[in-house]
């Protein structure tokens, strides 16, 4: 017993004098520690500065009912209750009773207001007793932030939001996720809090030990007007065809800036919302939109020319024991016409005859365009393309003719769009771009410029030929329902089977992917666009010309009519356009945008006179005939009664 007593005394002395500091630190850590204060994430803006995503601070106001001295509590309980009554609508006696009860129950974490705005937070913290702060008044303030999208569901999926899993990985795609860590997230602060029991902590002082630093702001390439156009055009067609999901993307031809991207999926109740980022993340068999790549490969390798004749008159043809068919026979037609009418037999025959003995040559041409690799866009979750080739499990003798019309390979809608955009951009392939700049207030932290993936995807001869075919597809081919005399478009329809692994089951419930990819205006492209709709109801229709073509046309038409005049005038420079047609277009635009000077060079002087006087300008003309120069440059802002001189 004596030895045991000595051991106890020794241990007590050891704890007190030798390990005392360590144990005191452990005890303090359990009751007092720094809590992290999340920084406000930076804002996400559209190209014109419209707010797309922002962090809204929210506050919970609580009261440590034990902290104030009794004299302080007695003095302020009534005026505090009166102020709370005006704020909440409940009686002053109700608040006085509940707070008094909280004090008698030694409640150190009594809730006064939850999830309130900053203005309400300022109002409440100036209420009697609460204005004394944490030490004297028992005020407890807890701040959180909530991500809001002021434009609602429009573009919500591409804006995204950041969610971190247990391993620290970003699990949500979108701009918010892609640029969260580096720019948007900011630096968290810290605040000293004391444990008050039941897992609850209250701030010890009214200030933060380390103030959080807000994240940088990200300015996107999204044009809110074009985004709205694309969203509603896609939504209307999805509803009409009761489709499963779809996407639409609009891209600036020269810069690669994504001006609009809409991704809509169907919910269980039949409504549509921004469900997944289909345009970036979903790779699938593209179907007939890939025929453009196949024919371009053959033209560029000079194994055919556009006048090469191919026999499609039977409407079906056997390739290595497998039948390929068209909706109808087209007879003996040229290679160019085969693409215009989207003949599966025509393209399969061309590619098989040209490359069956050297399939690697065809595959290498596709790889030379990097169609087998992701684009490497900044958005997390880009889908992985796949192209069959000799040596792979998906290769067979049928692979080559199948690839010719868009099967046995996978691409994302954005990857397909990038290729069509390169055609519109005179062969220069640019990477699709979602971000223009990162800023801290007005200071630019980083800017993002155009990134060229291929200086030239093919020869000028191939470009001229394929552009002419794409234009004719809308004029007299599978896209002829889209044709308009008012503005020109070029592109390719696509209709692909999907979920056809069990062919007998597929025949009972046929499912398709409808698409249209192209650009507008046809001769001086400003924008490229792709529309993809999955599994439209076959009761209504499923061909690309019927399902996705109208969406493309609606987007092009509204952009064309709602873009400022300075851009529209460039769009009017159509080959072989009649002067009177151009004048009518100028006249309509001038009525819409009466403060912007149009380019009237090339118009008859009298037509130019009527147009400009209708805008409220005073016109002086020297000579007669066609206008050769004007004293005010096109695109310049003009005022009523301003004088403009025209020389003929």
- Span 267-295, pLDDT tens digits: 989 899 887 889 999 999 999 999 999 99
How far is residue 12's CA from residue 5's CA, in Å, rounded to a whole number? Answer: 11
Percentages of the chain per state (helix, strand, coil), in multiples of 5:
40, 25, 40
Spell out where 350-489 has E strands. Answer: 386-387, 409-410, 429-430, 435-440, 443-447, 452-454
CATH number of the structural domain 577-647? 3.30.10.20
* Local confidence band at 381 (pLDDT 50, 70, 90 cut-offs): confident
Between residues 54 and 323, the one the model is more confident about? 323
Kind of pairing between the strands at 490-497 and 309-311: unpaired
How far is residue 353's CA from residue 357's CA, in Å, rounded to a whole number? Answer: 8
pLDDT at residue 602 greater than cutoff 80: no
| Cα 468 to chain centroid, rounded | 31
127 strand-pairing partners: none
CATH classification of 224-562 is 3.40.710.10, yes or no? yes
pLDDT at residue 633 greater than cutoff 70: yes
246 strand-pairing partners: 264, 533
> What pLDDT was estimated at residue 545?
85
pLDDT at residue 98 greater than cutoff 80: yes
Residues 572, 604 contacting (CB under 8 angstroms): no
Residues 228, 153 contacting (CB under 8 angstroms): no
Tokens of 354: 């040209």
How many residues can be counted in the chain? 648
| 488 C-beta neighbours (distance < 10 Å), count | 23
CA 373-377-381 angle, to 5 degrees, is 80
For the ranges 320-329, 406-415, 497-506, which has the lowest average pLDDT?
497-506
What are all long-range contacts of 572-581, with beta carbons under 8 Å and residues at least 24 apart?
573/523, 573/524, 574/488, 574/521, 574/522, 574/523, 574/524, 575/523, 579/603, 579/604, 579/607
- Residue reference for tokens 């005020």: 139
Q: What distance, in Å, lies between the first and last C-alpha atoms of the chain?
A: 123
Q: Is 403 exposed, middle or buried (0-12, 13-18, 19+ CB in 10 A)?
A: buried
> What pLDDT was estimated at residue 568?
43
For the ranges 254-258, 469-473, 548-552, 590-594, which has the lowest average pLDDT?
590-594
Between residues 370 and 570, the one the model is more confident about? 370
Three-state DSSP state, 430: strand
> What pLDDT was estimated at residue 306?
96
> What pLDDT was estimated at residue 585?
52
How far is residue 176's CA from residue 159's CA, in Å, rounded to a whole number? Answer: 6
Closest among 339, 340, 357 to 348, alpha carbons compared = 339
How far is residue 409's CA from residue 284's CA, in Å, rounded to a whole number? Answer: 8
Residues 52, 44 contacting (CB under 8 angstroms): yes
Cis peptide before 521 (omega within 30 of 0): yes
Tokens of 507: 């025949």
- 456-497 per-position pLDDT tens digit: 999 999 999 999 999 999 999 999 999 988 789 999 999 998
Of the ranges 156-160, 198-202, 441-445, which is most confident?
441-445
Residues 492, 518 contacting (CB under 8 angstroms): yes
> Which CA distances in Å does 414 have to 174, 248, 382, 530?
14, 9, 9, 8
pLDDT at residue 4 greater than cutoff 50: yes
φ, ψ for residue 576, nearest 5 deg: 65, 20
How far is residue 141's CA from residue 39's CA, in Å, rounded to a whole number? Answer: 16
CA 560-564-568 angle, to 5 degrees, is 50
For the ranges 263-272, 336-345, 471-480, 523-532, which has the lowest average pLDDT?
263-272
| Cα 52 to chain centroid, rounded | 11
What residue ranges do the domains of the chain occupy?
33-220, 224-562, 577-647
Residues 547, 514 contacting (CB under 8 angstroms): yes
Specify the CATH number for 33-220; select among 3.90.650.10, 3.90.1310.10, 3.40.640.10, 3.20.20.150.
3.90.1310.10
Residue 302 gets the label, from left (phi > 0), alpha (psi -120 to 50) or beta, of: left
Residue 316 CB contacts under 8 Å (≥ 6 apart), including other chains: 323, 324, 325, 326, 345
> Which CA distances in Å does 86 have to 33, 79, 82, 95?
36, 11, 7, 11
Average pLDDT value over all residues in the chain: 84
| Cα 617 to chain centroid, rounded | 42
> What mean pLDDT is predicted for residues 506-513?
83
- Residue reference for tokens 């205006």: 521
Closest among 273, 226, 269 to 245, alpha carbons compared = 273
Tokens of 648: 């003929």
Residue 534 gets the label, from left (phi > 0), alpha (psi -120 to 50) or beta, of: beta
pLDDT at residue 556 greater than cutoff 70: yes
Spell out where 149-297 has E strands. Answer: 189-197, 200-203, 217-220, 245-252, 258-266, 272-273
pLDDT at residue 170 greater than cutoff 70: no
Q: How many CA atoms lie within 13 A of 326 on its CB side?
A: 22
């Amino acid at each position: 017993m004596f030895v045991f007593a000595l051991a106890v005394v020794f241990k007590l002395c050891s704890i007190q004098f030798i390990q005392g500091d360590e144990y005191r630190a452990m005890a303090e850590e359990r009751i007092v520690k720094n809590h992290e204060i999340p920084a406000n994430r930076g804002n996400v803006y559209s190209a014109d500065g419209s707010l797309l995503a922002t962090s809204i601070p929210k506050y919970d106001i609580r009261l440590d009912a034990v902290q104030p001295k009794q004299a302080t509590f007695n003095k302020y309980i009534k005026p505090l209750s009166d102020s709370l009554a005006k704020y909440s609508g409940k009686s002053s006696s109700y608040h006085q009773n509940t707070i008094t009860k909280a004090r008698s129950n030694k409640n150190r974490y009594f809730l006064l207001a939850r999830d309130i705005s900053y203005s309400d937070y300022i109002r409440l913290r100036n209420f009697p007793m609460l204005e004394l702060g944490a030490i004297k008044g028992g005020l407890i303030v807890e701040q959180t932030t909530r991500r809001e999208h002021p434009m609602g569901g429009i573009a919500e999926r591409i804006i995204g939001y950041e969610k971190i899993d247990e391993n620290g990985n970003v699990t949500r795609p979108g701009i918010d996720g892609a640029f969260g860590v580096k720019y948007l997230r900011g630096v968290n602060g810290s605040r000293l809090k004391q444990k008050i029991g039941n897992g609850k902590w209250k701030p010890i002082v009214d200030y933060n030990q380390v103030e959080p630093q807000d994240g940088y702001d990200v300015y996107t390439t999204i044009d809110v007007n074009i985004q709205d156009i694309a969203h509603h055009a896609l939504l209307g067609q999805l509803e009409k065809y009761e489709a499963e999901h779809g996407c639409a993307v609009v891209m600036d031809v020269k810069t690669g800036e994504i001006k609009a991207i809409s991704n809509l999926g169907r919910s269980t109740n039949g409504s549509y919302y921004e469900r997944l980022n289909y345009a970036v993340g979903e790779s699938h068999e593209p179907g007939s939109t890939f025929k453009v790549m196949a024919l371009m490969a053959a033209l560029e390798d000079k194994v055919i020319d556009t006048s090469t004749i191919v026999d499609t008159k039977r409407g079906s043809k056997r390739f290595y024991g497998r039948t390929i068919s068209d909706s109808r026979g087209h007879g003996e037609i040229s290679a160019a016409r085969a693409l215009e009418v989207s003949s599966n037999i025509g393209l399969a025959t061309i590619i098989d005859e040209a490359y069956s003995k050297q399939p690697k040559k065809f595959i290498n041409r596709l790889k030379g365009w990097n169609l087998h690799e992701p684009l490497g866009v900044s958005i997390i979750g880009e889908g992985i393309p796949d192209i069959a080739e000799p040596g792979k499990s998906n290769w067979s003798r049928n692979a080559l003719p199948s690839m010719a019309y868009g099967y046995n390979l996978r691409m994302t809608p954005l990857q397909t769009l990038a290729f069509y955009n390169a055609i519109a951009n005179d062969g220069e392939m640019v990477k699709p771009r979602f971000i223009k700049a990162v800023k801290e207030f007005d200071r630019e932290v980083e800017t993002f410029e155009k990134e060229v993936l291929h200086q030239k995807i093919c020869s000028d001869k191939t470009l001229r030929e394929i552009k002419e075919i794409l234009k004719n597809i809308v004029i007299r081919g599978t896209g002829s329902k889209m044709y308009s005399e008012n503005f020109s478009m070029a592109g390719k329809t696509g209709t692909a089977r999907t979920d056809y692994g069990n062919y007998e089951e597929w025949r009972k419930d046929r499912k398709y992917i409808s698409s249209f990819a192209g650009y507008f205006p046809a001769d001086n492209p400003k924008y490229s666009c792709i529309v993809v709709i999955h599994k439209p109801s076959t009761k209504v229709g499923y061909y690309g010309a019927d399902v996705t073509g109208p969406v493309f046309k609606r987007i092009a038409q509204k952009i064309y009519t709602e873009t400022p005049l300075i851009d529209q005038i460039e769009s009017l420079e159509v080959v072989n356009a009649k002067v009177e047609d151009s004048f009518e277009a100028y006249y309509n635009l001038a009525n819409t945008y009466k403060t912007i000077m149009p380019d009237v060079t090339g118009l008859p002087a009298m037509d130019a006179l009527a147009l400009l006087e209708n805008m409220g300008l005073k016109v002086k003309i020297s000579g007669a005939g066609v206008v050769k120069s004007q004293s005010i440059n096109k695109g310049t802002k003009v005022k009523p009664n301003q004088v403009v001189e025209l020389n003929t």
